[in-house]
Amino acid sequence: MDTKRFETEVIHKGYHALQHHGSLSPPIFQTSTFVFDTAETGASRFAGEQEGYIYSRLSNPTVAMLEERIASMESGEKGLAFGSGMAAVSAILLGLTKTGDHILCSEGVYGCTFGLLQLMEEKYHITHDFHSMSDEDSIRGSITDHTTVIYIESPINPTMKLVDIEMVARIAKEYGIPVVVDNTFSSPYLQRPLELGCDVVIHSATKYLCGHGDVIGGLAVGSNELMSHLAMTTQKDIGGVMSPFDAWLLLRGIKTLPVRMDRHCENAKKLSELLKEHPAVETILFPGDPEFPQYELANKQMKNAGGLISFQIKGDKAAAQSFMNSLQLIKIAVSLGDAETLIQHPATMTHAVVPEESRKQMGINDQLLRLSIGLEAWEDIWSDLEQALNKI
């Protein structure tokens, strides 16, 4: 049976019952190394002449099933699994650049990605620039002879600003520059950048793909040629690989991604409307809001608006922190995509590493909060938000 629908692929892709003695749940191959029948077998595997497993830093059956599944979900040829989202980001960016190269980035990026870009510039003279990517002419004007990667988030963390992925990919192809997209905020269920013309898509699998707050992991998908090259270089030699147990947990979590994302999106839509009307809220940033500046773009490239809402409290940092401290159901934590609703203060948490001036240019001020809507009854989430908002 050739299954193609997303909701079916997330449950079945890569699973071969006959290989696993009929076990419905994929086995965890919790082993560091693999035994060769003969010395010649070992030699031929190391030479690349014979398929088979060698050592779990290079490949592992449980991890390979996850890689096959995420490749299918993103409409790509080959997936790679990493020990964290940042292990994926660093392996991809280091694998696509060398000393003297330039990276063109979207206007905002995750705080640790910002830190990595700074490190690459300071240590390896790989420069970068942040760009609004709002129109074709300005993008072309920012591409230099040394630009070897265009790196974007969409939606951008935590301002929720969108990048027209198809437009960026079209321009990049004119110059032969690969486009890398961090798709963590959307998941493959809501947005698939490879189908829009990009070359590599990255996920912090810790977030929506896991969905249960119990895994640290990263995933990347692209062409077979590029991913195979990265697998044998920056993934293998830097070594930020995923464990078999974490891969197994992710395979379990991914099975419920579509139903979870539908609930996240439904809850976020209702709560955004309520937050927007509360007198203690200055502004909300949510792609599903008809007044969001890029609402039409969201409808064009996303299946739904997602489960994240950023909003600004009226007042100052003390007011924002007081509000957070008054919450009872909602947890103060820096992740997202979990069953639980989580809230964080970007300026002092996820983006604290970013200098204040750069933060403000990204649109991150002391009043901004990022809310990851969970799977609870939306009425209970709102009750908690409302009582805390009323106190300020």
Give the number of other CB atoms < 10 A from CB of residue 361.
13
pLDDT class of 4 with cuts at 50, 70, 90: confident
**What is the structure's pLDDT at 22?**
79
Is 182 annotated as catalytic? Answer: yes
DSSP for residue 37: S
% of the chain exceeding 90 in pLDDT: 91
Among residues 182, 199, 289, 338, which one is catalytic? 182
- 71: tokens are 């490749």
Give me the mean pLDDT over the 254-283 stretch: 98
**What is the structure's pLDDT at 18?**
53
Give me the mean pLDDT over the 151-179 stretch: 97
Print burial letters for 219-239: b (CB count within 10 Å at least 16), e (below 16).
bbbbeeebbeebbeebbeeee
Cβ(328)–Cβ(391) below 8 Å: no
Q: What is the mean pLDDT of the chain?
A: 95
Is 2 annotated as catalytic? Answer: no
To the question of pTM greater than 0.85 for the whole model, the response is yes
Is 170 annotated as catalytic? Answer: no
Among residues 45, 110, 246, 366, which one is catalytic? 110
Is 37 annotated as catalytic? Answer: no
**What is the structure's pLDDT at 296?**
98
In Å, how far are 88, 211, 334 from 215, measured between CA atoms? 15, 9, 14
Residue-range domains of the chain with CATH: 6-254 (3.40.640.10), 257-390 (3.90.1150.10)
pLDDT class of 286 with cuts at 50, 70, 90: very high
Give me the mean pLDDT over the 158-169 stretch: 97
Among residues 57, 270, 314, 331, which one is catalytic? 57
Print burial letters for 255-289: b (CB count within 10 Å at least 16), e (below 16).
bebbebbebbbebbbebbebbeebebbeebbbbbb
State the DSSP H helix or E strand holding residue 228, giving kind and residue range, or none if neither.
Answer: helix 224-230
Give me the mean pLDDT over the 18-31 stretch: 82
**What is the structure's pLDDT at 17?**
57
Residue 1 has pLDDT above 70, yes or no: no
Give me the mean pLDDT over the 239-265 stretch: 97
Least confident of 143-157, 165-179, 348-362: 348-362
**What is the structure's pLDDT at 3?**
58
Residue 19 has pLDDT above 70, yes or no: no
Least confident of 2-6, 224-228, 338-342: 2-6
Among residues 207, 269, 303, 359, which one is catalytic? 207
**Which tens digit of pLDDT belongs to each residue from 357-380?**
888 888 999 999 999 999 999 999
% of the chain exceeding 70 in pLDDT: 98
**What is the structure's pLDDT at 2?**
57
